[in-house]
Structure 1
Amino acid sequence: MTDTVYVLNGPNLNLLGLREPEIYGNTTLDEIAGMLEDEGREHGLAIDMRQTNHEGMLVDWLHEAQAENARAVLLNAAAFTHTSIALLDAIKAIKTPVIEVHLSDPKTREAFRHISYVGMAAAKTVEGHGAQSYSIALQAVASGEV
């Protein structure tokens, strides 16, 4: 197993800091990446941060995490969380632990966001802590919880 943690981000997360800041906050994805890289170094972990607006790319990256023997995946699948059986199947198909991450708490939002296909297979879910959700998830990896 390598010391690499994949941090995979789904659709519209490239607009963090601009998109609905009252829900998602003002922190950009680049700022989250910098924060995670600093925290990862403290724990001897390398961060491989990626973002795509394409569902199949997330599936490919989950497969890659397995092939590269990554320590874990932090996955903010965004809207695909609630729609993607393909992501559910990809998570179930790999041995690499996946932590579902959300900036907001989907259970407090629209009813369609209450279903999480990602959560059905994830080892852990961290939600509702803004940008700190990523840090909490990384700490779970660093501590060996996941």
Structure 2
Amino acid sequence: MKHIYVINGPNLNRLGLREPGVYGTSTLVDLENMLKEEGLRLGCQISCFQSNHEGEVIDLIHKSADLTDGVIINPGALTHYSYGVRDAIASINVPVIEVHISNVHAREAFRHTSVTAPVTKGQIVGLGFMGYKLALTALLEGDEKK
């Protein structure tokens, strides 16, 4: 059975409360439950993590190299400036897909640049929680290239 890590970065624990016009009213628990149900349906194990701390996100990425078949990550604000998260993604040999709930390219200019996307298999933006499901499908059905 394949095992996928879902890593959510800073402030994603505030889903449902933070800017509901941008992120919706569903919570992080709702997202995690949806993904675990989808994982069961697709025959894979999903482990979900969230941290507001860059070092913890990096540690989870490193840990995923030995324990998973792929990673779905929403680095939150770390997307735009964390070379540490970028280098952690580049250092592992499992595929990583970056997901953003909102369309970051239609928002503030500082959100338009991702330092992490160039070292991922792909990036999905603006499709809400569905983006995570699409990333899961891509990891399970796609080739194993990073």
TM-score bin (small chain): over 0.9
* Counterpart code for 1:116: S
Gapped runs of 5+ residues in structure 2? Answer: none
Counterpart AA for 2:87: D
Letter in 2 for 1:134: Y
Shift in Å, 1:142 = 2.1
2:35 paired residue number: 36
Q: How does 1:99-138 map to 2 (within 5 A)?
A: 99-138=97-136
Give the deviation of 1:138 after TM superposition: 0.8
Q: Shift of the alpha carbon at 1:145?
A: 4.7
**Quick one: distance in 2 between partners of 1:14 and 1:94?**
25
Identity of matched residues, %: 43
CA distance in 2, matches of 1:3, 1:81: 26
Per-residue Cα deviation, 1:84-140 (whole angstroms, up to 9, x for no partner): 000111111110111001000111111111110110111011110111111111111
1:54 matches 2:50: no
- Tell me the equivalent position of 1:74: 72
Give the whole-Å Cα distance in 2 for the aligned partners of 1:22 and 1:99: 25
Paired with 2:100 and 2:33, the residues of 1 have a C-alpha distance of 18
| Contact 1:24–1:104, Cα closer than 8 Å, also in 2 | yes
In structure 1, the gaps of 5 or more residues are none
**Count of aligned pairs:** 144
Given that residues 73 and 97 in structure 2 are in contact (C-alpha distance below 8 angstroms), is that contact kept between their aligned partners in structure 1? Answer: yes
After TM superposition, give the deviation of residue 143 of structure 1 in Å: 1.5
SS at match of 1:120: helix
Give distance in 2, aligned partners of 1:41 and 1:144: 18
SS at match of 1:36: helix
Letter in 2 for 1:129: L
Label 1:145 to 1:102 Cα distance change in 2 as closer, same or farther (>3 A).
farther
CA distance in 2, matches of 1:56, 1:101: 20
Separation in structure 2 between the aligned mates of residue 137 and residue 101 of structure 1, nearest angstrom: 7
CA distance in 1, matches of 2:124, 2:143: 13
In the alignment, is the contact (CA less than 8 A) between 2:95 and 2:139 conserved in 1? no
Question: How high is the TM-score relative to the length of structure 1?
Answer: 0.95
- Paired residues of 1:27 and 1:131 also in contact (CA < 8 A): no
